[in-house]
Structure 1
C-alpha cells in the first residue's frame, strides 16, 4: 500500500545497493545508484501508485562489473562524454558513435601517429585500444564475430590493467590528430601515391581536405574499416590523376573542380556541335561524348571518371590537334553548307560563328551556320560595294561625299534616276545593309554615268546652282558662300538637303536679303536706262514669262 511507511521500508531494505556498485536505469537513462537517486526512485513510485504520472517509466536497479565500469569511465574521459550518460554498454556505445561522427576520419588512423606520440602506456596497448574502439563503432571491423558487450569488457579489462592508456588515447582523439593520422596513413598507402600526385599538381596540401569531403559525404564514415576507406582514397587518387593529365592539355589547375571548369570553358570555345558532327569524330568519339556530358551537366560522374582518364591519356594530343584546327572538321561536317567556299573563306566563316555551340542541337547548329554564311556573303558583298564607291569617289559613302563638298549628292543625279540612286546611296550609307539592297545598289553603280561629274568642280557648281539654288541664283552668285551659310543654318547633314523645304526657305531669305541690299537698285538702274517703248516691251515680256509679276499688276489695278 503506497504510504510513508512503505517508503521507509523500501528505503531501509534497498540502501545496501547504494555502495556505488549498482546502477539506476529507466530503460533510457542510466546513472550510479546513490542515496539521493534511491530516494528519488522510491518517492516517484509511491506518488505514481497514488496518482498515476503521465509517461511514467519503470525504474530498475542493475548490476555492473568492474570491466563495465572501467569501460564507461574510460569512454567518458577519452571522448569527453558526461559520466552520467555512460552507465551501460549500450548507452555508452551510442554516445561514442555520436562523438566519432565529429572526427574528421575513422579512429583507426590514429595508429599511424603512435610512433611520434609520448605515451604513458605502450604503443601496442594504445593500438589495441584503438582497435577495440573501432569495434565498438562497428563490430564487423573484427575478423571474428564479437558482441558489443564482449568488446566493452575487453576495453574495460585493458584499461584496468593499463590505467595510463586512457590518458594516452584521450590526447589522441581529436580532429587534428585524426587528420594527422590519415596523412601518415597516406604516406605508406600505395607508396604515397596521393601525396605525390598532389605535389605534382601543386595543390598546396588541399588533397587532405578533398579526401575529408569524401568521408563527410557519408554519415557512417566513422564505422569504415580500411578496405572501405581505401575505396574513397582511390577515388581521390583518380581525381588527382585526372588533374595531372588534364594539366598537360589545359591551363594548369590545382583542384578537381577547377579542372572540370577548365574543360567546360574549353568546350565553350569549340564552335562545332558534338551532335551535328557525331559521325566525324573518329578516334575522338568517346572523349567528345564525355566532354559533351560534362558540358551539359557541369560535372564528371564518378562512374565515368576511369573512362575519362583513359581517354585524355590516350587522345589528349589528338584533342589538341583538333582544337587548334577546328576548321578541318567543320569543313567536313558542314560540307553541304560551306562546300562552295575556298579554305580561306571557310576559315573566315568559322571565325564569325559564336561561342558555346558544342552542346547545340543539330537543327539549331545548322541554322546558326547557315545564318553565319548568309551574314558572311552579305558582308563580303557590302565590302565590295563600298570598295567600288571608294575607288570611284575617294570617299567612304554618299553621305561623306556630301559633307566633303557641302552639297547633296542627289542633285548630281538625273531626275529619272533619283529614286534608284536614293536606294543605292541608302545601302552605302548603312553599316549593315541587307543582301537585296546590296545587290540592287551594285547593279545601279555598275551602270551609273555620273562618277566623272562628281569629281568636276564645274559640274558640281552647275548641279548645285540648277537643282538647289534654282531661280535664286541671280541673287546668290557666290555658291561657296551659299553652301557655308546653309551649313550654319540647316541642322542636318548636306546629304539630306535635297528636296528639304527648309533649304528653299533659307535660300529665299538669303536671296531677299541680297535683293534688298543691292539687287533692287540694280533693277531700277536697268529700267532707268530704258526708253518708254523699250520699257513697255520688256514689261510685256515679263508679264508673259512670269505669272507672279502679272498677278501683282492685276492686284495693283
Structure 2
C-alpha cells in the first residue's frame, strides 16, 4: 500500500497530530458507554479536563494511546469509575472536581472521625465492609486501582448511611464503650467528643488498646471536672432514681406534685438542671444546695405520701370514686401522650380525669350517693341541702325553679 500510495506517510503525519487525536478521542467518548464519562465530567464542571486525565493513564511510549482498543477501553472504564467516585463523594463531602482532591478529602473527613474502627466494628449494623475500607484508605492515603470499583460500589450503597454515621458518633460511642461510661449520659459523651482537649479526632485507625486507653483517660478527666455527675449521684442517693424526670416515670406522676408551693420555682430550676445535665456551675451549685435541704425528701420514697400528693393535685373531691390512685395513673398513661413529668396543670390530664370520674360516678357512684340520701334522716337531708346551696348557685337555682 505504501508503494502504491507514495504520499501516504506524509498524509498520516498530517492526520496523526496530538490535537487531532485528542479531538477524535473526545468524539469517541461522547458515544462510549452512552457518553457516561462526558456526562459526569460536565455535571461536575471539570472544564474538559477528563480528556487530559485519560491521557495521563497511558505510558509516554504508547503512541497517541489509540493503537490497542482493549487497552483504551480499560483506561476509559477506569476513569469512569474515578469520576463516579467523585460524583458520589460530593454527596457527603465538599464539592471536588478531581479524583486526587476527592481521595484527599476522604482522608481528611476520616481524620475527623472520633471513633476507632477497631473498637466500633462489632456495633456497625449496616455497611461494615465500607467502614473497613475507609480505615484502609486512611492508612494508605490512597486507593489501589484494584480497589476503586469496590469502593465505588460500597460508596453508592452507603451514602445515606455515612451521613447518619457522622452525625451519630456519640450514640455509637455509647454502645461500644458502655463498660467505661458509668453514670455519663449521651449529653456527657457528646460534650466529651466535641471537646478538643480529649483529642478524639483522628482516632479511626487507632489500635483498640490505644483507643480504650484514650477513652479511660478522657472519662476520668471529664468526671473529675464535672460537678453534674456528683449532683446526679446525690439525687440518686436521696431518691433512688436517676433524675427527677426518671422519678416521674417510675411513679407515674409529676414530681412537682410533691413540692411545697413555696419551693415551686427553685425546685423547677433545680430539677431542670439535673434532667438536662447542662454544665452550668452556678445552676449545679444551686440545685445541689436545694436537693440536699429538701424538707420532703422522705415523702418521695413513701407510697402513702405519693398517693396523697396525687389525690391533692389531681383527684381532689373525685377521690371518693376511686379505690386507689394506681388505676387512675394507668388510665392516664394509656390515654395521655404527655410524659408524667408534665402532667401537673395539664388541661388534657384534667379533662381526662373529669371524664373518668364522670364514668365512674355513673357506674357506681350515683347508686352509692342515692343510697346515702335514702339512709339519711329527713332533717339531716334538709341541713345538707341548706349547706349545699350556700356555695352552689346552680343547685340553689334548681330548687327555686322547682317551687315556681
In the alignment, what sits opposite 1:367? 213
Aligned match of 2:136 in 293, 308, 313?
A: 293
Q: Tell me how far apart the structure 2 counterparts of residues 171 and 200 of structure 1 sit (CA, whole Å).
A: 34
Q: Tell me how far apart the structure 2 counterparts of residues 217 and 379 of structure 1 sit (CA, whole Å).
A: 63
Pairwise CA distance, 1:303: 1.3
In the alignment, what sits opposite 2:183? 340
Correspondence 1:356 to 2:197: no
Correspondence 1:325 to 2:176: no
Structure 2 spans left out of the alignment, 5+ residues: 232-404
Aligned match of 2:159 in 316, 321, 324?
A: 316
Query: Residues 400-415 of structure 1: matches in 2 within 5 Å?
Result: none
In the alignment, what sits opposite 1:281? 124
Q: Tell me how far apart the structure 2 counterparts of residues 342 and 320 of structure 1 sit (CA, whole Å).
A: 23
Q: Tell me how far apart the structure 2 counterparts of residues 207 and 231 of structure 1 sit (CA, whole Å).
A: 15
Q: Tell me how far apart the structure 2 counterparts of residues 169 and 219 of structure 1 sit (CA, whole Å).
A: 17
Pairwise CA distance, 1:240: 0.6
Aligned match of 1:233 in 59, 76, 99?
A: 76
In the alignment, what sits opposite 2:21? 178
Q: Tell me how far apart the structure 2 counterparts of residues 171 and 221 of structure 1 sit (CA, whole Å).
A: 14
In the alignment, what sits opposite 1:187? 30
Report the TM-score, using the length of structure 2 for normalisation. Answer: 0.53
Pairwise CA distance, 1:188: 2.1
C-alpha spacing 1:180/1:278, structure 2 compared with 1 (3 Å): same
Q: Which has the higher contact order (CA 8 A, sep 6+)?
A: 2
Pairwise CA distance, 1:290: 0.8
C-alpha spacing 1:348/1:323, structure 2 compared with 1 (3 Å): same
Pairwise CA distance, 1:158: 4.3
Q: Tell me how far apart the structure 2 counterparts of residues 221 and 169 of structure 1 sit (CA, whole Å).
A: 13
C-alpha spacing 1:202/1:378, structure 2 compared with 1 (3 Å): same
Correspondence 1:378 to 2:220: no
CA deviations over 1:326-352 (Å, ceiling 9, x no partner) = 111111111111143122112222223
Greater radius of gyration (CA): 1
Report the TM-score, using the length of structure 1 for normalisation. Answer: 0.39
Q: Tell me how far apart the structure 1 counterparts of residues 112 and 82 of structure 2 sit (CA, whole Å).
A: 24
Pairwise CA distance, 1:172: 2.1
Q: Tell me how far apart the structure 1 counterparts of residues 139 and 114 of structure 2 sit (CA, whole Å).
A: 15
In the alignment, what sits opposite 1:207? 50
1:242 touches 1:309 (CA, 8 Å); kept in 2? yes
C-alpha spacing 1:220/1:282, structure 2 compared with 1 (3 Å): farther
C-alpha spacing 1:218/1:314, structure 2 compared with 1 (3 Å): farther
C-alpha spacing 1:200/1:223, structure 2 compared with 1 (3 Å): closer
Query: Residues 152-163 of structure 1: matches in 2 within 5 Å?
Result: 154=1, 156-160=2-6, 163=7
C-alpha spacing 1:218/1:196, structure 2 compared with 1 (3 Å): farther
C-alpha spacing 1:222/1:195, structure 2 compared with 1 (3 Å): closer
C-alpha spacing 1:363/1:219, structure 2 compared with 1 (3 Å): farther
2:18 touches 2:64 (CA, 8 Å); kept in 1? no
Q: Tell me how far apart the structure 1 counterparts of residues 39 and 22 of structure 2 sit (CA, whole Å).
A: 18
CA deviations over 1:241-281 (Å, ceiling 9, x no partner) = 11111111111110111111111111011100011112111
In the alignment, what sits opposite 1:150? none
2:192 touches 2:218 (CA, 8 Å); kept in 1? yes
Q: Tell me how far apart the structure 1 counterparts of residues 224 and 73 of structure 2 sit (CA, whole Å).
A: 62
In the alignment, what sits opposite 1:405? none
In the alignment, what sits opposite 1:264? 107
1:331 touches 1:339 (CA, 8 Å); kept in 2? no
Q: Tell me how far apart the structure 2 counterparts of residues 320 and 218 of structure 1 sit (CA, whole Å).
A: 44
1:357 touches 1:365 (CA, 8 Å); kept in 2? yes
